[in-house]
Amino acid sequence: MIQADIFKTVVENIPLVSIDFIVQRMYDEKILLGKRVNKPALEYYFTLGGRILKNETMKDAKKRIFKNEIGIDLSFETNFLGIFEHFYDDSIFDNISTHYINFGYLVQIDSELINLPKEQHNEYKWLSVDELLKSEEVHQYSKDYFSILQIGENK
């Protein structure tokens, strides 16, 4: 893992590259969101994802991030949705903003998810697209995936 002082310099000076998973339950088209426990987007419900590491292939990053964020192996098809940018006024470091370049993937699952990890999110909700678009608890960047791409009920 990268040392905190080096990571602080990285966050301060360059965009972070990450993968976001839009996890959709097939039988009711609801979307899984987690309530973030870290900055940025602290205490907002957000899609699940994480940073790509140096020298990590996209395939390996997707597997690792899915396992870390959802707690199961990535055995589902992923559909690439596009590249998105997220700009935050804060970060895990005081007085430093965060810039993310996000690769968005839709993952449709046909099973219930239990015992979801608590490291990055302390609560989880399954919401319809309409519910999440109307919720003030859902971060705008998560809403953007649905309002721009018209996933689920907005087809």
Q: How many CB atoms lie within 10 A of CB 16?
A: 17
Q: How confident is the model at residue 154 (pLDDT cuts 50, 70, 90)?
A: very low
**How does pLDDT run across 1-10, given as a tens digit for each residue?**
789 999 999 9
Domain that holds residue 125: 4-154
Task: Residue 9: give its domain's CATH number.
Answer: 3.90.79.10
What residues contact 121, with CB distance under 8 A and at least 6 apart? Answer: 34, 35, 36, 37, 46, 48, 69
| Average pLDDT of the residues in 52-81 | 94
The pLDDT value recorded for residue 113 is: 86
- What are the two backbone dihedrals, phi and then psi, of residue 40, each rounded to the nearest 5 degrees? -80, 170
Q: How confident is the model at residue 153 (pLDDT cuts 50, 70, 90)?
A: very low
Q: First and final CA of the chain: distance in angstroms?
A: 41
What is the 3-state composition of the chain as percent helix, strand, coil, each rounded to the nearest 5? Answer: 25, 35, 40
**How does pLDDT run across 118-145, given as a tens digit for each residue?**
999 999 999 999 999 999 999 999 999 9
The domain tally of the chain equals: 1
The pLDDT value recorded for residue 106 is: 94
Q: What is the mean pLDDT of the chain?
A: 92
The pLDDT value recorded for residue 152 is: 53
| Average pLDDT of the residues in 43-47 | 97
The pLDDT value recorded for residue 146 is: 84
**How does pLDDT run across 67-103, given as a tens digit for each residue?**
999 999 998 889 999 999 999 999 999 999 999 999 9
The pLDDT value recorded for residue 115 is: 87
